[in-house]
Amino acid sequence: MSDPVRQPAGHAAGSPVARVQAAFAGAGVTGWLHALDIDSGAETSVGADHPVVTASVHKLCLLVALHQAAAEGRLDLTEQVECAPDRRASGPTGTAAMLDPVRMSLRDAAYLMMAVSDNAAAEVLVQRVGLTAVNASMVRLGLTHTHATHTFRELLDTIREDAGPGGAAMLTEPHVISHLRALDPARTNRSTPRDMTRLLAAVWRDEAGPPEHGAAMRRILGLQVWPHRLASGFPFDDVHVAGKTGSLPTVRNEVGVVEYPDGGRYAVAVFTRAASGAATLPAADAVIGTAARVAVDALRRGRG
């Protein structure tokens, strides 16, 4: 893969880029990465401008658009919304997996959307905010490669339609996977690793909204429950990882910010595609943390 690298060592053996590429290969994935020192602007790149499928990482874009709408007075985050069972997007977590009617505030729906990647909560929010507003928010922030084509319900519908009458059982078949619109950045929700670290940096620098909204977004990102991807690379009590995962057949992603006790803060975006269509691939999950750690360590050496 081609990678515009911002590291003096380039592709030399043992360089951060070479180590990240070797980690991806060893885990059986193709990967793209961008890591950014939020304060200095130093970066590490492995295909950072490659178009990628965002999957549930796009919920970060929705979160930003939600808070921008609240800051502009277009909605109240304490507004109550209904999530009825017969109108829910499908999914294994949060309200998507519940059987009874749920009533909650917009901000609590945002918490479920980010903490456990609740598809039903995300669909409630995107219907309230509007997909056009989500895309407009990204344009205002200069993220020209980030675009949502589908709501989360629509995205799941394309997978069901493309899988055909065989249903979910067909999603491990290479000939089915190769035709899924949800896995084609040209036909689904998309971004680049660089756009995602720019978005995270804007949230952490209070450039994506007023400080009180930036603080609220950072809090929610810090409450994500999944430890098996980005966070696995930073198993330290004094290092804080806040992030958002994204998953589809063969796709495992995570974007987030890693904060050290010395004040260092690093936005990281890792997007991967696995060679295998298996739903359980621990090495493919763990390499996201491994690659992120290599990239962040390189940036921290540069700080010194």
User: How far apart are the C-alpha atoms of 135 and 239, rounded to whole Å?
Assistant: 32
pLDDT at 304: 41
pLDDT at 11: 57
Angle between helix 59-71 and 211-221 (nearest 10): 150
User: How far apart are the C-alpha atoms of 87 and 169, rounded to whole Å?
Assistant: 24
Q: Are 281 and 222 in contact (CB under 8 A)?
A: no
List of domains in the chain: 16-303 (3.40.710.10)
pLDDT at 90: 86
The string of DSSP codes covering 80-147 is EEEE-GGGPPP-SSGGGG--S-EEEEHHHHHHHHHHS--HHHHHHHHHHH-HHHHHHHHHHTT-TT-B
Q: Are 32 and 295 in contact (CB under 8 A)?
A: no
Q: Are 277 and 19 in contact (CB under 8 A)?
A: no
pLDDT at 10: 46
pLDDT at 17: 96
pLDDT at 303: 59
pLDDT at 168: 84
Q: Output the furthest CA–CA distance in the chain (Å, rounded).
A: 57
Helix, strand or coil, per DSSP, at residue 268: strand
pLDDT at 91: 86
| pLDDT tens for the 304 residues of the chain, in order | 334 334 434 457 689 999 999 999 999 999 999 999 999 999 999 999 999 999 999 999 999 999 999 999 999 999 999 988 887 888 889 999 999 999 999 999 999 999 999 999 999 999 999 999 999 999 999 999 999 999 999 999 999 999 998 888 888 888 899 999 999 999 999 999 999 999 999 999 999 999 999 999 999 999 999 999 999 999 999 999 999 999 999 999 999 999 999 999 999 999 999 998 898 999 999 999 999 999 999 999 985 4
Q: Could you tell me the pTM of the whole model?
A: 0.93
